[in-house]
Structure 1
Amino acid sequence: MYKLLRPFLFALDSETIHNAAIKAGEMVTRVGLADILGKLYAYEDARLRTRAFGIDFSNPVGLAAGFDKDARLINMLPALGFGFIEIGTVTARPQAGNPRPRLFRITKDGAILNRMGFNGEGAKAMRKRLSALKKKIPVGVNIGKNKDVPNEHAIENYSESFSAIVSCADYITVNVSSPNTPGLRALQDKEPLLALLAHLKNLNGKLGAPKPILLKIAPDLTNDALDDIVEIVERTKLDGIIATNTTVSREGLRTDLRAVAALGAGGVSGKPLHKHSVAIVKYLYRRTEGKVPIVGVGGIFTAEDAYEMICAGASLVQIYTGMIYEGPGLVKRIKRGLVELLKRDGFSNIAQAIGSKSNYCPSLSRADGSDKPLDSVPTESVGTSLGG
C-alpha cells in the first residue's frame, strides 16, 4: 500500500509531509487506533531480545532521532514494532531552526538531505509531555546545543537540557555531530569533548538513579579522531556510542551533483551512508574490544542491512530514512528477516551475532557448535575520504 502512495507523497514538500505524518500519528493515538495498528505490525521473537547499557530491549530495531523531535508520538510509535525510540534532538531553549526549505529527498540515491537546525519546543516542554506519558518501550532523548550559544558556553547549555530531561529518559544521547548548527562539530575535538562528557557524567552521578549516556558521532572523522573518541569514552566511562550522524560528503551520489548542490548545505542520510557507517561501527568495535555498546545508524533499508551492522559490532540499530522510503512496515520486515538470518548462521540470539564479522573475536559460540572464519577489516583510514 505504501509503495502505491509514495509517488503522491513524494510529489509534495518533504517537511510538509513529515509534519502531516506527525499529526496523523497523534490522531491515531487520540482515537484509540494504536492497538489496531500494533496488531497489523506485530512480530515478536525471543531470539531478537537483547540487552545494552543496562536496558532490556524486545528487539534491536530503534527509531533514530530526528523523526519525533518533540515527543509527540511516544504512544503511537511502539505500535510499528520498534524495540526503542530516540526523540529529539532537543535543546535547552526552544528554537525555530534554519529557514525553510530545509528537508529534501534525493530519490535516485535513496537519501535525504536536511539542514533542520535542531528546531523544537525545548527541553522543558518535552519534559512536561514525557512526564504525562506512560512509556511502552525504552525512550532515549537526544540533546543538542542552542544555535545562539557559543561553544565556550556549550557545557552550561547541554547541562541545562540534560538536567531538565534526564528524569524522563531511559538514556541520553549527546549530539555534537550535526552539521547543521554552525561550529557544533568542533565539540568533537578531544579537549572540548572530554570536558563536556566529564561534566555530564558528573551531573549524572549525582542522581539517585543515573541514566546511560551515549555519544552520537559524525561519519566524517579520520581514524585518529575516532581513536580520540574511543579514549574519551573509556576515560569518562561513557555507556555507548551511536554511529553515525549524517554526512557532509556528496561522494558516491548517483544524482547529478549540480542538482544536489542546488539543494544547498546539509547532512545526507540514507543508502549512500550505509557502507561507511558499517565500517566505522566495525572500527569502533575493534578499538573498544567489544566492551562499549554501539548503536549502528546509516542507510538501513533491509534486514540484511541491519544484520550487516550488527555483525560489524552494533548491539542495536536505528532507522529513519529507510522508513521514509520503505514505509511503516519496514520494522516488521527487518525483524522477520533478522530471525531468518540468525537461523541461517546458526545463532540462537542477537547477542551471538554482535561483532561476529568484526574480525575481533577469535572464535564464537554458535548454536551448531562450529567456529566459522571471520571477515577481515581493512586497517586503512575509514574516514579520510569524507569532508568534515
Structure 2
Amino acid sequence: MVSTATRLGGFAFDNCLMNAAGVWCMTTEELEAVKDSAAGTFVTKTATLAYREGNPEPRYRNLPLGSINSMGLPNQGLDYYMDYLLELQGSEPERTFILSLVGLSPDETHEILKKVEASDFKGLIELNLSCPNVPGKPQIAYDFEATETILREVFSYFTKPLGIKLPPYFDIVHFDQATAIFNQFPIVFVNCVNSIGNGLYIEDEQVVIKPKGGFGGLGGEYIKPTALANVHAFYQRLKPEIQIVGTGGVLTGRDAFEHILCGASMVQIGTALQKEGPAIFERITAELQALMAEKGYETIEDFRGKLQTIRD
C-alpha cells in the first residue's frame, strides 16, 4: 500500500501535499475547502496584526507558465485566523494546521508572536521572512544580519513550533551563510521557496499588473528549478532536526516527487492550486502514488533526499 503520509515538527499528516500561503486561504470558506480536500493540512494567509486591503488591482495574473503577483499582503488580520484555528482545535483536535504570519516591522513581528505564544494555539507557525518590512532595505531573509537578530530575539521567548518561509537564494555562499544562521536556532522547518521577486511580464506593450510599475513575484513552472535547488541545498546543509517544506512549480505528481527527492518532508502548491482549485490535491496525490508504486516506493521516506548526482 503506497502512502503519502508524512511528519513535520513532530506532527503527523495523512498527506504530504497542502496549499502555499497566499492561495485558497484568505477566508475561512477557502480554508474549509482545502481542509476538506485531499490535502494533508492547510496554511493560513500570511497574517499581519491588523486587516490589510493590499495593493491595488490588478495585482495577480495567471501566465502561460505560472503567475506574477504583487499582492501587498492582503489578509483578514491575525485574530481572524487565530479564532478559526482555535475553533478547529475544538472540533477536529486530531488534525494539525499551520498559521502563517509576518510583522510590518520588527516590533510588530514580536507583538504578533507574543500574542501567539500566549494563546492556546497548538499547531505549527510559519514566520514569513521573505517580505520586506523596512523601507529601503531588502526583504529580511536577504539581510543576514537582520535575520540573525530577529531569530535570536524571537527564540528568547517563543517556545511553540516555528518554521520560516524563505525567498529563493541564488548563490552557493548564500546557502552557506543562511544555514550557519538557521542551525543556531530551534527552527522546526524552512519553507523553500516564496516567489522569485521582481519579474516583469509584458502583453500588448504593457505590463500586466498595476503595483510597482508591473514588477511582481513569479510563481509556477517558471520557478521549479530554482525551488528544487533551494530545497536540496538546504537539505544538504541544515541540521537534521530542521525539516524542509518544498514550494514552487508543483503541477503534477512528478513535480511533488522531485521536491521530496530533493529533501522536502511536505510539498506546498500555489499557482497550480490557484488555477485548478482544491480538487488538484486529489489528482496530484494519485499521480504521486502511481509514480511511487511504479518505482517500488511505499512511503515518501523511501526516497526523500536521495537525489543522485553524476559520478565519474
Q: In structure 2, which of residues 83, 95, 108 is the aligned counterpart of residue 137 of structure 1?
A: 95
Please list the CA deviations of residues 276-321 of structure 1 after superposition, one character each: whole Å capped at 9, or x if unmatched: 1011111111122655210000010000000011001111100021
Give the distance between the partners of 2:203 and 2:170, measured in 1 at CA. Answer: 25
The verdict on how the C-alpha distance between 1:188 and 1:100 changes in structure 2, with shifts beyond 3 A counting, is same
8 Å CA contact 1:298–1:319 kept in 2: the answer is: yes
Match of 2:45, SS state, is strand
8 Å CA contact 2:48–2:77 kept in 1: the answer is: yes
Aligned twin of 1:84? 41
Give the distance between the partners of 1:216 and 1:376, measured in 2 at CA. Answer: 30
Superposition pairs for residues 27-42 of structure 1, below 5 Å?
A: none
Q: In structure 2, which of residues 67, 76, 91 is the aligned counterpart of residue 112 of structure 1?
A: 67
Aligned twin of 1:173? 126
Match of 1:48, SS state, is coil
Aligned twin of 1:199? 153
8 Å CA contact 1:216–1:241 kept in 2: the answer is: yes
Superposition pairs for residues 202-281 of structure 1, below 5 Å?
A: 202-205=156-159, 211-248=160-197, 250=199, 259-260=206-207, 264-281=214-231
Q: In structure 2, which of residues 109, 119, 129 is the aligned counterpart of residue 158 of structure 1?
A: 109
8 Å CA contact 1:127–1:164 kept in 2: the answer is: no
Match of 1:300, SS state, is coil
Aligned twin of 2:79? 124
The verdict on how the C-alpha distance between 1:72 and 1:222 changes in structure 2, with shifts beyond 3 A counting, is farther
Shift of residue 114 of structure 1?
1.4
The verdict on how the C-alpha distance between 1:352 and 1:223 changes in structure 2, with shifts beyond 3 A counting, is same
The verdict on how the C-alpha distance between 1:103 and 1:181 changes in structure 2, with shifts beyond 3 A counting, is farther
Q: How many residues align?
A: 301
The answer to which of 280-289 and 174-183 deviates more is 174-183
Give the TM-score taking structure 2 as reference length: 0.87
Aligned twin of 1:371? none
The answer to which of 336-345 and 277-286 deviates more is 336-345
Partner AA of 1:331 in structure 2: F
Give the TM-score taking structure 1 as reference length: 0.71
Shift of residue 248 of structure 1?
1.8
Shift of residue 145 of structure 1?
2.1
Higher relative contact order (CA 8 A, sep 6+): 2
Aligned twin of 1:306? 256
The verdict on how the C-alpha distance between 1:257 and 1:129 changes in structure 2, with shifts beyond 3 A counting, is same
Give the distance between the partners of 2:233 and 2:69, measured in 1 at CA. Answer: 27
8 Å CA contact 2:141–2:166 kept in 1: the answer is: no
Shift of residue 327 of structure 1?
3.5
Give the distance between the partners of 2:132 and 2:310, measured in 1 at CA. Answer: 31
Shift of residue 333 of structure 1?
1.4
8 Å CA contact 1:179–1:267 kept in 2: the answer is: no
Aligned twin of 2:18? 62
Shift of residue 184 of structure 1?
5.6
Give the distance between the partners of 1:121 and 1:290, measured in 2 at CA. Answer: 35
Match of 2:39, SS state, is coil
Give the distance between the partners of 2:161 and 2:226, measured in 1 at CA. Answer: 26
Structure 2 unaligned residues grouped into runs of 5+? none
Partner AA of 1:203 in structure 2: Y
Q: CA RMSD in A?
A: 2.6
Aligned twin of 2:9? 53
Give the distance between the partners of 2:109 and 2:122, measured in 1 at CA. Answer: 15
Please list the CA deviations of residues 113-151 of structure 1 after superposition, one character each: whole Å capped at 9, or x if unmatched: 1111112222123223332333463211111122xx4xx
The verdict on how the C-alpha distance between 1:50 and 1:311 changes in structure 2, with shifts beyond 3 A counting, is same
Residue 338 in 1 paired to residue 288 in 2? yes
Give the distance between the partners of 2:181 and 2:204, measured in 1 at CA. Answer: 37
Give the distance between the partners of 2:17 and 2:141, measured in 1 at CA. Answer: 28
The verdict on how the C-alpha distance between 1:181 and 1:76 changes in structure 2, with shifts beyond 3 A counting, is farther
Partner AA of 1:353 in structure 2: F
The answer to which of 313-322 and 227-236 deviates more is 227-236
Aligned twin of 2:298? 348
Partner AA of 1:284 in structure 2: F
